[in-house]
Structure 1
Amino acid sequence: MTEHIVIVEHDTLSESASAALKVLFDSEYRAEHGEWTPDRPYGYSPADVHTVIFHDSIAVAHVGFQRRLIRVGAREVTVAGTGGVLVHPDWRSDGVGRRVMAHAQQAMRDDDRVDFGYLGCREEVASFYERTGWTRVNAVERHVSMIDANATVTSTDGPILIFAAHADPGARAEQWPPGDIDLNGTPW
């Protein structure tokens, strides 16, 4: 099988790539969450950019991100809100997750509109992100409810991680502002 990586803006995602992503996501989540749709994936915010590893025509890994201006304390910060991180079960433990994440992070670095990658996750997967260059921040996060667009959800329990999307990530990570976080929308 031939592996190839595709980094594509959402609005130029081909029908075949979208269909392959649907197969990938539905194989993991359909029983519990229903069918995947690229414009509102399981109620989360959709990706502006998709990073996908294909083996021939089969999507085996995905990382998506959406550019958004969020508020952190008294500052506004442009982030690549990251979600839809998934590796097909048959391809786990083969380095595919690290490779797809590395390509997504490079896409963030190459995007001069993005200051930081941003994601929230479950504690049991946080170590994967930390091994791939993400750093934990401690803050209260507010976001629009995925169920009721008129409601706000406040969260303090899940890990929040950032990735400095610049040439010198160590120096930029220290510039993450202090304070509570308002995602100005639904999570990724």
Structure 2
Amino acid sequence: MNEALRLQRHEDLGMMELAAMQKLFDSEYLSDFGRWNPHAPYGYSPADFHVLAFQGSVLAAHVGFQRRVISVGADEVLVAGTGGVLVDPRFRGTGLGGRAMRHAQKAMRDEAEAHFGFLGCRNEVVPFYESAGWVQVHATERCLSRADQKSVIVSQGGPTLICSSSRDASEWPNGDIDLRGTPW
């Protein structure tokens, strides 16, 4: 099957891409979270950039990220806050997720010019991200609630991961993290 990975800015998404994304996300999350909304995906921050991985005409994987300055300790850090990482079940285990993630990481550096990639995830998917070069950081994290976008949530549970972009992951500053908005 013909595979195509491409980066698309959110404002440049066409009806075809939006419909394909709706189908991919609704197939995974509709029963638990309702219909997907590209401008407020399940209360998470929307993506500025989308990596779309097609297998033939089927959108088989997606990685989204948003540029944002966050604070880490006393430092301001430009991150590519990553979310909406999803692979169609028919294509899981084929390496497509890793290829889509590497495509996104290159775009984080080359297009978004972010210092680091940044994401929060469930424990069971940490090995996937680590295999793509992400590393865990341990810090208290503050963000706005997905439910109302006003309440402040403070957590230490993680997992929180970063990846190198224009700066090496070893340069990640120490200190508490303030996302200055909702998570991705």
CA distance in 1, matches of 2:113, 2:125: 27
TM-superposed deviation, 1:77? 0.1
TM-superposed deviation, 1:113? 3.1
Q: Which deviates more from structure 2 when the two are superposed, residues 2-11 or residues 25-34?
A: 2-11
1:61-100 alignment, distance < 5 Å: 61-100=61-100
Q: Is 1:173 aligned with 2:169?
A: yes
Give the secondary structure class of the aligned counterpart of 1:52. strand
Instruction: Give the letter aligned to residue 45 of structure 2.
Output: S
Question: With structure 2 as the length reference, what TM-score do the two structures score?
Answer: 0.97
Inter-CA distance 93–111: structure 2 relative to 1 (3 Å threshold): same
CA distance in 1, matches of 2:92, 2:44: 24
TM-superposed deviation, 1:150? 2.3
2:46 maps to: 46
Checking the alignment, whether the CA contact within 8 Å between 2:138 and 2:158 is kept in structure 1 is no
Checking the alignment, whether the CA contact within 8 Å between 2:67 and 2:112 is kept in structure 1 is no
Corresponding pairs, count: 184
Checking the alignment, whether the CA contact within 8 Å between 1:20 and 1:57 is kept in structure 2 is no
Give the secondary structure class of the aligned counterpart of 2:47. coil
Inter-CA distance 28–112: structure 2 relative to 1 (3 Å threshold): closer
Give the secondary structure class of the aligned counterpart of 1:54. strand
TM-superposed deviation, 1:112? 5.6
TM-superposed deviation, 1:164? 1.1
Q: Report the aligned-residue RMSD.
A: 1.0
TM-superposed deviation, 1:158? 2.0
TM-superposed deviation, 1:149? 2.4
Question: With structure 1 as the length reference, what TM-score do the two structures score?
Answer: 0.95
1:119 maps to: 119
Q: Which deviates more from structure 2 when the two are superposed, residues 40-49 or residues 104-113?
A: 104-113
TM-superposed deviation, 1:3? 1.3
Inter-CA distance 145–93: structure 2 relative to 1 (3 Å threshold): same
Gaps of at least 5 residues in structure 1 are none
1:163 maps to: 163
Gaps of at least 5 residues in structure 2 are none
CA distance in 2, matches of 1:148, 1:53: 32
1:108 maps to: 108
